[in-house]
Amino acid sequence: MSEREEHSKGGVYSVKGQEFSRDSRYIETRIVAEPRDGTDDYPVVPNRYRLIAAYACPWANRAIIVRELLGLEDVISMGNPGPTHDADSWTFDLDPGGVDPVLGIGKLKEAYEKRFPGYPRGITVPAMVDETTGEVVTNNFPQITEDLYFEWQQYHKEGAPNLWPGELREEMEEVMQRVYTEVNNGVYRCGFAGSQEAYDAAYDRLWTAMDWLEERLATRRYLMGDQITEADVRLFTTLVRFDAVYHGHFKTNRNKLTEMPNLWGYARDLYQTPGFGNNVKFDQIKDHYYIVHTDLNPLGIVPKGPDLSGWDTPHGRG
């Protein structure tokens, strides 16, 4: 079996056991308040960088949410590729002429290639692009949101949430690691399993974690207690896609999210919080998964269901 790359997420199928394995090699450059000697660090400068993030992509959706939660809209511009793309790159299908109005490019690949000619890996979102050069700075999605909090604090809005509380950092790192490996990536492990054995193992791992989350959220409003943290952002972008695409398209179908009282209430609580639900576009999410993943859905038919109207119903977790 040859390795196949899913360019929108940087994942590959490994040969061993036909199990989905994500390529986690990202551009390590950072944007920091005080660039370190001997590094490729870029300096924090307002109105210099453009966040390229597709609403369809859960990894990019994190950055979109954090940017708004922290009030960075006026110092970091944003461009949004369309939900579908070719095997080569994310594209700016939603913009007039199919061109990003600030960067003047039709494919995000152009920003990658400008800095790294012949860039060898998938063209992924989110990506931070230097508007002054048109070159990609980084696509390291977990580092991007962490740096938006710690390195851009001078530009945070008044009352911005503390997404990385120091007293909870150690436990939060453990929770986020489990959420990433077992849930964020776990749904992909189910969806892109290359054998029944690999799928069965992935399914069991996912639902062990989902049951753990259901139990954890029975005694606290958010993952880390009574305040929203980065951990909640990271879990939310998977939960909000669960019934819409993962349950059917990725075969994660033991339960719907709506059938898990604590997780469903928690997800609605976040969805109804400014910065979260207003940055969810279900039509783009469904178009992306059902049209781009031709190996899973060869005809590209996008289902009309499920009914997603329940996201605005009272959550009862206040």
Q: pLDDT tens digits, residue range 190-218?
A: 999 999 999 999 999 999 999 999 999 99
pLDDT for residue 3 is more than 60? no
Q: What is the pLDDT of residues 49-91, one digit of tens each?
A: 999 999 999 999 999 999 999 999 999 999 999 999 988 999 9
* pLDDT (average), residues 165-169: 97
Q: What's the pLDDT tens digit per position in 134-160?
A: 999 999 999 999 999 999 999 999 999
Which segments of 49-191 are extended strands (E)?
49-52, 77-79, 127-130, 135-138
Q: Does 93 reside within a domain?
A: yes
* pLDDT value, residue 76: 98
Residue 266's closest CA among 230, 318, 309? 318
The confidence band for 173, taking pLDDT boundaries of 50, 70 and 90, is very high
Hey, what are 161's tokens? 């949430």
Q: Please report whether residue 209 resides in a domain.
A: yes
pLDDT at position 20: 82
Residues 307, 175 share a domain: yes
Same-domain status, 151 and 97:
yes
The answer on pLDDT for 9 being more than 80 is no
* 205, 264: one domain: yes
The total number of residues written for the chain in this structure = 318
Report the pLDDT value the prediction gives residue 24, as an integer from 0 to 100. Answer: 78
Last residue of a domain, one of 120, 155, 190: 155
pLDDT band at 114 (very low <50, low <70, confident <90, very high): very high
Do 188 and 116 share a structural domain?
Answer: no
Residue 11 lies in a domain: no
Give the closest residue to 124 by CA, choosing from 171, 72, 62. Answer: 62
Q: Which residues are catalytic?
A: 57, 188
Domains: count for the chain = 2
- Asked if 278 and 203 sit in the same domain, the reply is yes
pLDDT at 10: 41
What's the average model confidence in pLDDT over 217-236?
98
| Sheet (strand 49-52) strand order | 77-79, 49-52, 127-130, 135-138
Is residue 232 a part of any domain in this protein? Answer: yes
Residues 148 and 278 in one domain: no
CA pair distance 303, 213, nearest whole angstrom: 28
Same domain, 120 and 254: no
**Lowest mean pLDDT across 21-30, 68-77, 243-252, 309-318:** 21-30
Q: Is residue 51 part of a domain?
A: yes
Residue 116 lies in a domain: yes
**Which of 106, 129, 155 is the C-terminal boundary of a domain?**
155
Is a pLDDT exceeding 80 seen at residue 296? yes
State whether 269 and 212 are in the same domain.
yes
Q: Please check the confidence at residue 7 and state whether its pLDDT lies above 70.
A: no
**Residue 218 and residue 106 share a domain:** no
Asked if residue 138 and residue 179 are part of one domain, the reply reads: no
pLDDT confidence tier of residue 22, bands split at 50, 70 and 90: confident
Say whether pLDDT at 101 is over 90. Answer: yes
CB contact at 8 A, 225 and 168? yes
Residue 11 scores a pLDDT above 70: no
CATH number of domain containing 122: 3.40.30.10
Q: Which domain holds residue 135?
A: 27-155
Are residues 215 and 92 both part of a single domain? no
Query: What CATH number did the domain enclosing 209 receive?
Result: 1.20.1050.10
Whether residue 13 is contained in a domain is answered as no
Shared domain check, 239 and 119: no
Residue ending a domain, among 133, 155, 177, is: 155
The rounded mean pLDDT for the chain is 94
Q: What is the pLDDT of residue 131?
A: 98
Measure Cα distances from 261 to 68, 114, 186, 228, 315 in Å: 28, 48, 21, 19, 10
**Mean pLDDT to the nearest integer, 114-142:** 97
Q: pLDDT-based confidence at 1, cuts 50/70/90?
A: very low
Strands 5-6 and 11-13: antiparallel
CB 45 within 8 A of CB 155: no
Residues 6+ apart with CB under 8 A from 136: 27, 111, 112, 114, 115, 116, 127, 128, 129, 130
Residue 12, pLDDT > 90, answer no
Task: List the beta strands (DSSP E) in 28-157.
Answer: 31-32, 42-43, 49-52, 77-79, 127-130, 135-138
Domain-embedded: residue 231:
yes
Give the mean pLDDT of 266-272: 98
With bands split at pLDDT 50, 70 and 90, how would you rate the model's confidence at 264? Answer: very high
Question: Nearest 5 degrees, angle CA 240-CA 241-CA 243?
Answer: 95
